[in-house]
């Protein structure tokens, strides 16, 4: 593709042919405001915030979708444009709930930021007609407040284009338009998988996770409860965003220190149970391969993917590993093995998780997630919720000295760390399965073929005459492509990893919001994933079956891999669900 020259605000830049004016302006170091635009998710030019002037063009153009031409001269900051943007913001505010101080996005709201940028404090049209909306909090994970919705449709794009689900869309027309489910059904009654990609896409406070921080703090302050917390792999490269740290900053030690200061009785790492997941899952894979079990086997770590499979591919559930997710495995071990070691009655343990994922909130209430007679995990908080708790407590997160996680559920290997990136579970499983199948020590631990943010990846490995073909899919639209092959019998894979969120957990629906002005030009998924791979490479132990705390758990409590006790605590079952009406 040829390069062309474009002049934006008197700055000449060279960009690839086919670039938009928005991209050309970015290359010139100019930030054109946007609200509806989200690259590869929602490119509809609807909000009109990005309007620009192009010499020779009739009228103003929407820079987010307007292709540049060689020699084009454009202006992004004229008096006419500034006034047009102010008017657009005032019109948006005319039917917007401006209770900003009580909004979960206050201080991190793209609309609020643009109003400040253009000096818009209120609306000349605010006294006019208003819509009256009821908050939909029916979901276990997601709350929709349409009084704050700006009809940008970014959530619709995320649900339809990224995830291929489309349970939300525009209802009604004109002033009465609102975003919701078909026939105005509550979200919980649809085939929503609780992935939270709609929340990640939302520029305002119209969508947010169901908050559990008050319940967690009440448990911490209850002297009769022993409150343990686990933090997932990708939270350590996301939490820093809440405190203005560089994108992808690795803050594991600071996070452990902050959680102790919040008052948790024991601070653990989900990486421990990620290693546990791998040894159980690798054992299950080998059993299926050697004993004629259902293949390909598919990973079960992502609860959004599991619910998707239950809704859309219930006839294929036999392919899914019976292993619980690392979150649930940790909870089961905390209320059994750990409880016995510490002499604590499981009923007095409150198990809390810090997750990059909103679907984890739904997972808590799934059937067969209470191995000890009590819920494996009581509360799942998103990375954002933990960030808010730390801020409310007045903890100076950036300057916290790093601390270690507690034992015996805090030791981990590099294989566990990379769970947060798409392909990470596959790579971790291969590090163990290859050694167990071949009986030889791996010399090269990096399975680079399954790394990267590409939606579907494939690789094939020859293990002493046994060919193992694998596939990795992230984002449910990509999962659908793979599952259609599985259903048709044309997927000649041995093992498949599927993550609900594009890029994996580093881009989970519970991760800190990243402004679209950053997301549109930087691959947030790749940046966060690189931090995890760098951490993996720096660790002395990089294979899950070499984790000394995992070895001790089996020697002292579980017995063999895949034992009856291990199955009772660490494995689960699935249910067939209906597919409810989708939005148009």
Percent of all residues in the chain with a pLDDT value above 70, rounded to a whole number: 99
Question: What CATH code is carried by the domain that includes residue 24?
Answer: 3.10.20.740
* pLDDT > 50? residue 235: yes
* pLDDT > 90? residue 124: no
Q: How many other CB atoms sit within 10 Å of the CB of residue 569?
A: 24
Q: Which residues on adjacent β-strands are paired with residue 382? A: 355
Domain boundary among 156, 189, 209: 209
3-class DSSP assignment, residue 101: helix
| Together in a domain, 9 and 140 | no
Q: Which pLDDT tens digit goes with each residue over 40-79?
A: 999 999 999 999 999 999 899 999 999 999 999 999 999 9
Q: Which pLDDT tens digit goes with each residue over 3-47?
A: 999 999 999 999 999 999 999 999 999 999 999 999 999 999 999
Among candidate residues 46, 54, 44, the one with its CA nearest the CA of residue 21: 54
Q: What is the mean pLDDT of residues 114-140?
A: 91
Q: Which residues on adjacent β-strands are paired with residue 456? A: 473
| Together in a domain, 196 and 330 | no
In this structure, is the dihedral angle defined by the CA atoms of residues 506, 511, 512 and 517, taken in order, positive or negative?
A: positive
For residue 231, what is the enclosing H or E element?
A: strand 226-231
Domain boundary among 160, 176, 209: 209
Q: Which pLDDT tens digit goes with each residue over 158-191?
A: 999 999 999 999 999 999 999 999 999 999 999 9
Tell me the C-alpha to C-alpha distance, in Å, between residue 494 and each of 303, 329, 337, 351, 543: 21, 24, 33, 35, 21
Q: Cis check for the bond before 408: say yes or no (omega within 30 of 0).
A: yes
The two tokens of residue 49 are: 């915030």
584 confidence band (pLDDT: 50, 70, 90): very low
Does 245 map to a domain?
Answer: yes
Does 578 map to a domain?
Answer: no
3-class DSSP assignment, residue 466: strand
Does 581 map to a domain?
Answer: no
Domain boundary among 49, 77, 105: 77
Backbone angles phi, psi at 562, to 5 degrees: 70, 15
| Together in a domain, 407 and 425 | yes
Among candidate residues 4, 268, 46, 248, the one with its CA nearest the CA of residue 154: 46
Residue whose pair of structure tokens reads 């449709």 in the numeric block: 153
Q: Which pLDDT tens digit goes with each residue over 73-101?
A: 999 999 999 999 999 999 999 999 999 99
* pLDDT > 90? residue 122: no
**How many whole angstroms from its chain centre is CA 107?**
21
| Together in a domain, 194 and 68 | no
Question: What CATH code is carried by the domain that includes residue 155?
Answer: 3.30.70.20
Least confident window among 118-127, 343-352, 380-389: 118-127
| Together in a domain, 475 and 497 | yes
Cβ atoms of residues 427 and 417 within 8 Å: no
456 confidence band (pLDDT: 50, 70, 90): very high
| Together in a domain, 318 and 431 | yes
| Together in a domain, 139 and 220 | no
Q: Residues 6 or more apart from 73 whose CB is under 8 A from it? A: 6, 7, 54, 55
Torsion (CA) 414, 420, 421, 424 in degrees, nearest 10:
50
Q: Enter the DSSP assignment of 554.
A: I
**What is the residue-averaged pLDDT of the chain?**
96
Q: Which pLDDT tens digit goes with each residue over 311-366?
A: 999 999 999 999 999 999 999 999 999 999 999 999 999 999 999 999 999 999 99
Q: How many domains does the chain have?
A: 3
Among candidate residues 511, 507, 506, the one with its CA nearest the CA of residue 531: 506
Q: Residues 6 or more apart from 152 whose CB is under 8 A from it? A: 35, 36, 42, 46, 47, 203
DSSP letters along 268-301, please? EEHHHHHHHHHHHHHHHHHHHHHHT--SSEE---
257 confidence band (pLDDT: 50, 70, 90): very high
Among candidate residues 512, 583, 533, the one with its CA nearest the CA of residue 171: 583
3-class DSSP assignment, residue 6: strand
- Measured CA to CA, the distance from residue 16 to residue 264 in angstroms comes to 52
- Measured CA to CA, the distance from residue 339 to residue 335 in angstroms comes to 5
For residue 528, what is the enclosing H or E element?
A: helix 524-538
| Together in a domain, 439 and 550 | yes
Does 60 map to a domain?
Answer: yes
Does 335 map to a domain?
Answer: yes
Q: Which pLDDT tens digit goes with each residue over 269-285?
A: 999 999 999 999 999 99
* pLDDT > 90? residue 123: no
**Given its phi and psi angles, is residue 40 left (phi above 0), alpha (psi -120 to 50 degrees) or beta?**
left
**How many whole angstroms from its chain centre is CA 528?**
12
581 confidence band (pLDDT: 50, 70, 90): low
DSSP letters along 150-172, please? ----HHHHIIIIITS----EEES
Q: What is the mean pLDDT of residues 519-523?
A: 97
Does 584 map to a domain?
Answer: no
pLDDT given at position 420: 97
- Measured CA to CA, the distance from residue 450 to residue 529 in angstroms comes to 13
Cβ atoms of residues 353 and 327 within 8 Å: yes
Backbone angles phi, psi at 210, to 5 degrees: -70, 120
| Together in a domain, 404 and 284 | yes
**How many whole angstroms from its chain centre is CA 504?**
7
DSSP letters along 345-409, please? -GGGEEEEEEES-SHHHHHTTSTT--TTSS-S-SEEEEHHHHHHHHHHTT--GGGPPP-PPPSSS
Q: Residues 6 or more apart from 126 whose CB is under 8 A from it? A: 93, 94
Residues 252, 257, 258, CA angle at the centre, nearest 5°? Answer: 95
pLDDT given at position 129: 86
Tell me whether residue 512 is exposed, middle or buried, using C-beta atoms within 10 angstroms of its C-beta: 0 to 12, 13 to 18, 19 or more. Answer: buried
Range of the domain at 190: 92-209
Q: Which long-range contacts (CB under 8 A, 24 or more apart) does 457-465 make?
A: 457/423, 458/493, 461/430, 461/434, 463/434, 463/437, 463/438, 464/437, 464/438, 464/440
Does 465 map to a domain?
Answer: yes
| Together in a domain, 294 and 438 | yes
Strands 178-180, 207-209: pairing kind: unpaired
pTM over cut 0.75: yes
Tell me whether residue 323 is exposed, middle or buried, using C-beta atoms within 10 angstroms of its C-beta: 0 to 12, 13 to 18, 19 or more. Answer: buried
Tell me the C-alpha to C-alpha distance, in Å, between residue 433 and each of 102, 112, 210, 551, 580: 50, 50, 38, 16, 39
User: pLDDT higher for 463 or 154?
Assistant: 154
Q: How many other CB atoms sit within 10 Å of the CB of residue 108?
A: 20
* pLDDT > 70? residue 552: yes
448 confidence band (pLDDT: 50, 70, 90): very high
| Together in a domain, 306 and 392 | yes
Does 84 map to a domain?
Answer: no
| Together in a domain, 410 and 495 | yes
Q: Where are the beta strands (DSSP E) in 80-211?
A: 142-144, 169-171, 178-180, 207-209
pLDDT given at position 397: 98
Q: Which pLDDT tens digit goes with each residue over 489-515?
A: 999 999 999 999 999 999 999 999 999
Question: What CATH code is carried by the domain that includes residue 260?
Answer: 3.40.50.1780
């Amino acid at each position: 593709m040829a390069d062309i020259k474009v002049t934006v605000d008197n700055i000449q830049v060279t960009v690839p042919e086919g670039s938009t004016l928005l991209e050309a302006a970015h290359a010139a170091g100019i930030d054109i405001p946007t609200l509806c635009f989200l690259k590869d998710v929602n490119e509809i030019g609807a909000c009109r915030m990005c309007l620009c002037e192009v010499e020779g063009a009739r009228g103003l153009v929407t820079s987010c979708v307007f292709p540049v031409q060689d020699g084009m001269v454009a202006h992004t900051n004229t008096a006419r444009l500034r006034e047009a943007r102010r008017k657009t913001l005032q019109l948006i505010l005319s039917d917007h709930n401006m209770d900003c101080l009580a909004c979960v996005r206050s201080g991190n709201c793209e609309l609020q930021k643009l109003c400040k940028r253009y000096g818009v404090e209120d609306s000349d049209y605010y006294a006019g007609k208003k819509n009256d909306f009821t908050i939909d909090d029916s979901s276990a994970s997601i709350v929709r407040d349409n009084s704050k919705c700006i009809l940008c449709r970014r959530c619709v794009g995320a649900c339809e284009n990224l995830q291929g689900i489309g349970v939300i869309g525009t209802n009604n027309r004109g002033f009465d338009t609102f975003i919701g489910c078909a026939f105005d059904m509550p979200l919980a009654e649809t085939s929503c998988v609780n992935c939270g990609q709609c929340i990640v896409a939302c520029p305002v406070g119209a969508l947010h996770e169901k908050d559990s921080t008050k319940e967690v703090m009440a448990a911490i302050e209850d002297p009769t409860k022993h409150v343990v917390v686990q933090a997932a792999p990708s939270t350590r490269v996301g939490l820093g965003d809440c405190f203005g740290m560089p994108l992808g900053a690795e803050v594991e030690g600071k996070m452990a220190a902050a959680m102790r200061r919040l008052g948790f009785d024991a601070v653990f790492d989900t990486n421990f149970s990620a290693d546990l997941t791998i040894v159980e899952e690798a054992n299950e894979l080998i059993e299926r391969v050697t004993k004629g079990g259902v293949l390909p086997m598919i990973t079960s770590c992502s609860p959004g993917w599991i619910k998707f499979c239950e809704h859309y591919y219930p006839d294929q559930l036999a392919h899914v590993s019976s292993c619980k997710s690392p979150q649930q495995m940790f909870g089961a071990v905390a209320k059994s093995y750990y409880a016995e070691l510490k002499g604590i009655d499981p009923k007095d343990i409150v198990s809390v998780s810090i997750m990059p994922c909103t679907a984890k909130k739904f997972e808590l209430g799934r059937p067969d997630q209470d191995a000890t007679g009590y819920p494996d995990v009581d509360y799942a908080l998103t990375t954002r919720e933990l960030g808010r708790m730390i801020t409310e407590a007045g903890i100076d997160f950036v300057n916290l000295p790093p601390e270690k996680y507690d034992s015996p559920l805090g030791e981990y290997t590099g294989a566990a760390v990379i769970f947060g990136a798409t392909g990470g579970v596959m790579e971790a499983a291969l590090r163990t399965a290859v050694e167990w199948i071949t009986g030889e020590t791996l010399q090269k631990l990096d399975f680079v073929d399954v790394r990267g943010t590409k939606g579907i990846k494939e690789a094939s490995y020859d293990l002493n005459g046994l060919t193992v073909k694998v596939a990795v899919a992230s984002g449910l639209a990509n999962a659908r492509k793979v599952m259609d092959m599985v259903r048709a019998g044309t997927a000649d894979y041995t093992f498949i990893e599927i993550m609900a969120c594009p890029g994996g957990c580093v881009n989970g629906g519970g991760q800190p919001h990243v402004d679209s002005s950053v997301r549109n030009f930087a691959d947030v998924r790749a940046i966060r994933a690189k931090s995890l791979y760098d951490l993996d490479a720096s660790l002395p132990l990089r294979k899950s079956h070499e984790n000394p705390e995992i070895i001790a758990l089996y020697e002292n409590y579980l017995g063999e891999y895949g034992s009856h006790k291990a199955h009772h605590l660490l494995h689960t079952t699935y249910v067939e669900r209906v597919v409810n009406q989708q939005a148009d």
